[in-house]
Structure 1
Amino acid sequence: MAGAADSRHESAEERADRNWAELLQELRVTQMGVQILTGFLLTLPFQQRFGELDDTQRTIYLCLVVLSVLATGLLVAPVSLHRLLFRKHLKARLVTSADRLARVGLVVLALVVAGTVLLIFDVVVGPAAAVIAAVGALVLFALLWVALPLELMRRAGSADG
C-alpha cells in the first residue's frame, strides 16, 4: 500500500490539499442528509399525531433530536475549523481533525437514522418490529460503512503482496 501512496509523487502539502478536497466532497453528501433529518425531527412536535406518543416514544424522540443536533455539529465542524485555520499552514492537522470529526459524525448519524427507524416502526407497527427494523438498519450501516471498506482494504493488501 505504501507504494500506491508514493506513486502519486505529491508533496505533503499537495497530499493534504487532495485529502481535504476529498473529505469536503464526502462531507457535502453527509451534511445535506443530516440537516434534512434534523429538520424533519425538529418539525415533528408540530404535527397533530405527536400528542399521541407515549412517554417512551417521546423519550426516544428527544434522544434522537439530541443525537441529530450532535451529528450536525460534528459533520459541519470541519467547515468551521477550516475558516478558523485558513492560511495558518495547518492543513495536515485540519485534515486529521476533520477526518476524526467526520468518523464520529457518521457513527452518530447511523444511530440517529436507526433511532428514527425505531420510532417510526414503533408508532406504525409496534415495539417488536421497531427493534428488528432498527437493528437491521444498524447492521446495514455496519456492513456498508465498516465491513465493506475493511474487506476492500484486505483484498487490496493481499493483491499487493
Structure 2
Amino acid sequence: MAHELVLSLRPLLSAEASAEASGCGAEAGDLEQAVWLRLLERLGEGGPPPDLPLWLRRAVRAEARRVRRAARRETALTGEVADAGRHDPERLALAAARRRVLRDTVRRLPGRCPRLLEALLSAHDPTYREIAGELGISQGSLGPERSRCLGCLRRLLAPEVAAR
C-alpha cells in the first residue's frame, strides 16, 4: 500500500515542490523530502489525512514558508543578525512610511492590478490557481499580468524613489 501511495503522490509532490522551490530559495528535492517525512510522521500518528492531495499541497507551502523564515533569521555575512535594528524607532517610522506609499500607489494602479498584487502579497500565501480563481482569470495569464502590473507600479514609484 505504501509503495502505491508513493507512486500516486510523487508527480503531484514533485510539481508542487518545483513550483515553490524558487520562491523560497530551496531545492525542490529538499522540499519533497521534508514533505515525505511529514507524511510518514502523520501516518504514524493516526493515518492519512482525509484529502491527501490537498494536505500535500499545503504541506509543501508550509515547508517553503519555514525555509523562508529560517533564511530571514540567518546571520548576514558581516556577522550581524538579519533583523538587527528592528526596534529602532526611526527605522520603524521610515518603514511604515514606505509601506504606506507602496499601499497608496498599489491602489492607484489600473484594472485588476491592485487586487492581483494584494493577492500575491497576501499573508496566507495563495497559489497561482487560487489567485486565478479569485480574480476570475486563467492561471496562465497571471504571469504576464503580474509583469504588466509591476511595470506600472515601477513607473508610478519612480518619482517617489528619485525624491529620496
Query: Is this a same-fold pair by TM over 0.5?
Result: no
Bigger relative contact order, structure 1 or 2, given CA contacts below 8 A and separation 6+?
1
Tell me the TM-score normalised to structure 1 length: 0.33
Tell me the TM-score normalised to structure 2 length: 0.32
Greater helix share, structure number: 1
